[in-house]
Amino acid sequence: MTIRRIAKIFKSRPTVEGAGVHLKRAFGYSQVPQFDPFLMLDDFHSSNPDEYLAGFPWHPHRGIETITYVLEGLVEHGDSMGNQGTIGAGDVQWMTAGSGIIHQEMPKESPTGTMWGFQFWANLPASQKMMAPRYRDVKAADIPAVTLDNGATVKVIAGEIGGVRGPVRDIVIEPEMLDISLPPGTVFSRQLPAGHTAFAYILEGEGYFDRQRDAYAYEVVGQGWSDTKRCCACAAESLVLYEHSGDALEVTTSDKPLRFLLVSGKPLGEPVAWYGPIVMNTQEELKIAFEEYQRGTFVK
């Protein structure tokens, strides 16, 4: 078994999206080639309703899948096909925009006082960018949790671990999405398909995400140049991107517990033409998409 090394670490950065939602972006736009087939990861985490209630009013998507995972709070959604509902704590919505959908996502004031969730964007291959839109709405109660011999707890959203398979299946990029909690003093290892892109996003605590523990062996993106005491343990709101070589990864905790999302998928290796909420393969395809949106023929 060859353990993967860290390629880069990204520090999530504050930004404002939608109608005024304050969030932190772990990666996006300029980093796309490194994360293929994933396009973006946003972390929205706030106890101030003024920072999230404006939400994401009606907007189009084409050519991608959006994955929303809510840890705390409520998000109401609706779309141009008449679908509507609420994503609550622990729920996942895996939406395949395909040929085109117009939707909105509107957070409500959180019952706990805190809104915390994530949205990933995953690319679709050229052969399926114009497929019919579809949803996978997964309630928290339908996401299995596995407790390993070392005390680790893993919520299996997509993929399989310990003989337990997650509810999100039959996705072209063969994704794995795990919500992993490790107690102190734990070593967690996970085999990965050869060549698949893999990253970990830290939610809480801290841990070591490779065996080298050399903080100068990789680039840290989003960290100030004046930080001369680089730490090899990774903490909350950091993203670890792994090299593609190697068939497994290893995570170790010290005297603190750790919770992180582990995400992987099969790269597409295709050109990306991206503008706003639409991701295609060519600029001409983008032009057509926006012309259709303006003419009212976007939704097929």
Query: 6-295 adopts what CATH topology?
Result: Jelly Rolls (2.60.120)
At residue 263, does pLDDT exceed 70? yes
Mind spelling out the 3-state secondary structure of the chain?
Answer: CCECCEEEEEECEEEEECCCEEEEEEECHHHHHHHCCEEEEEEEEECCHHHCCCCEEEEEEECEEEEEEEEECEEEEEECCCCEEEECCCCEEEEECCCCEEEEEEEECCCCCCEEEEEEEEECCHHHCCCCCEEEEECHHHCCEEECCCCCEEEEEECEECCEECCECCCCCCCEEEEEEECCCCEEEEECCCCCEEEEEEEEEEEECCCCCCCCCCEEECCCCCCCCCCCCEECCEEEEECCCCCEEEEECCCCCEEEEEEEECCCCCCCEEECCEEECCHHHHHHHHHHHHHCCCCC
pLDDT single digits (tens) 160-171? 998 999 999 989
Confidence of residue 29 (pLDDT cuts 50, 70, 90): confident
Sequence ranges of the domains in the chain:
6-295
pLDDT single digits (tens) 73-127? 999 999 998 888 999 999 999 999 999 999 999 999 999 999 999 999 999 999 9
